[in-house]
Amino acid sequence: MPLKLTTYYHGNDIPELPGNNTFHSTGLFRIYEATPGYTPLLIVASEGDRFVAKLLAVVRRSVRMFPPGIIKRCEVYGTGEYFDNTADKEAIFSELLQRLTDEALRNAFLIEFRNLDNAKFGYKIFRQNRYFSINWMRVYNSLHSVEDVKERFSPSRLRQIRKGLNNGAQVREAHSMEEITEFARMLRNNYSSKIRRHFPSILFFHNLEEYLREGQSSIFIVTYKNKIIGGSACIYSGETAYLWFSGGMRKTYALQYPGILAVWKAMDDAKQRGYQHIEFMDVGLPFRKHGYREFVLRFGGKQSSTRRWFRIRWNWLNRVLTKMFE
């Protein structure tokens, strides 16, 4: 039976779909849809009346400081979700990728596939569709093999956590929209470009609370004298917790170590919820130092090499980069 592909641009049009991958869920689609500067698209593959796969992508505005300019880039986390274990997943992915490439390059200058669970999956298919890969890094902590997440922390990290709490900092999960708004404003004002150049609208964090099913995301805040001075945001999928955003007012409240407490709380909560791993997103390229990667490695994590796949709209530039990264 031939494979049918359907592309959805509006959340209200999406039917009830199977699956438990948060990065390809209708809930995350709705978060993107309700966030300024984000335009999601969901491609669903079916055979007859049976759904076999889905792939969620988002086109977002990206502001460059130098040279100054605004471009649109399409981002995909993973390579989709597949519902039939007996199906040829790479054959299905080939059709999904061709459809996505055609759809996304109408509006986006760049397509990027990141956070690949299996760096080898779809290698030939990406190449056939003129994508090029760049080696990247992943940092994750195994939670299932420890009783307490602090067992693998460095001695200096343990001292900082104790000092932060002894100096009056408190850390807990945020619940009200007022707390989430204050957290997002704090993070935007104090976010280091060394971690990530892009920071979404504050509405993105409101939408995390509203559109994801209970237990699929959490926002943690670090407070001092009733002021939010740090925090972190996690999203959960499968057996893994993903630390998507974190930071703190480390210069103003150095003795409270807000950034460190925010990461520790996210890890400890993920352990209590029963997740097997926690992964730190956007830890950078392997051939250059990255401050955020060095920071999170002191929590006892492991780093491994992976890749990201890219496709540029300009064919001549895409050919040059493909030759460079062969």
Model confidence band, residue 68 (pLDDT cutoffs 50, 70, 90): very low
Residue 293 has a pLDDT of 80
What's the pLDDT score for residue 196?
53
Q: Which of 114-118, 259-263, 289-293 has the highest mean pLDDT?
A: 259-263
Rounded mean pLDDT, 48-64: 89
SS (H, E, C) the chain: CCCEEEEECCHHHCCCCCCCCHHHCHHHHHHHHCCCCEEEEEEEEEECCEEEEEEEEEEEEEEECCCCEEEEEEEEECCCEECCCCCCHHHHHHHHHHHHHHHHCCCCCEEEEECCCCCCCCHHHHHHCCCEEEEEEEEEEECCCCCCHHHHCCHHHHHHHHHHHHCCCEEEECCCHHHHHHHHHHHHHHCCCCCCCCCCCHHHHHHHHHHCCCCCEEEEEEEECCEEEEEEEEEEECCEEEEEEEEECCCCCHHHCHHHHHHHHHHHHHHHHCCCEEEECCCCCCCCCCHHHHHHHCCCCEEEEEEEEEEECCHHHHHHHHHHCC
What's the rounded mean pLDDT across residues 125-136? Answer: 94
303 vs 83, more confident: 83
Q: Domains of the chain: which residue ranges?
A: 4-129, 139-304
Span 235-261, mean pLDDT? 93
**105 or 287, higher pLDDT:** 105
Instruction: Please determine, for residue 300, whether its predicted confidence score (pLDDT) is greater than 70.
Output: yes
pLDDT at 85: 76
pLDDT at 286 > cutoff 70:
no
pLDDT of residue 33: 96
Give tens-digit pLDDT for 144-199: 989 999 998 989 999 999 999 999 999 999 989 999 999 999 988 876 544 455 78
Predicted confidence (pLDDT) per residue in 15-31, tens digit: 999 999 999 999 999 99
CATH 3.40.50.800 fits 4-129, yes or no: no
What is the spatial distance between Cα 299 and Cα 179, in angstroms, rounded to a whole number?
26
Q: What confidence tier does 271 reach under pLDDT thresholds 50, 70, 90?
A: very high
What token pair was written down for 251?
């210069």
Residue 64 confidence (pLDDT): 57
pLDDT-based confidence at residue 86 (cuts at 50, 70, 90): low
Instruction: Flag the least confident range among 86-95, 167-176, 253-262, 291-300.
Output: 291-300
Residues 6+ apart with CB under 8 A from 284: 136, 137, 290, 292, 293
Task: Give the CATH number of domain 139-304; options: 3.40.50.720, 3.40.50.880, 3.40.630.30, 3.40.50.150.
Answer: 3.40.630.30
User: What is the sign of the dihedral through the CA atoms of 81, 286, 247 and 58?
Assistant: negative
The pLDDT assigned to 2 comes to: 85
Contacts of 286 (CB under 8 A, 6+ apart): 135, 136, 137, 305
Decide if pLDDT at 287 tops 60. Answer: no
Interval 203-209 mean pLDDT: 89
pLDDT of residue 156: 92
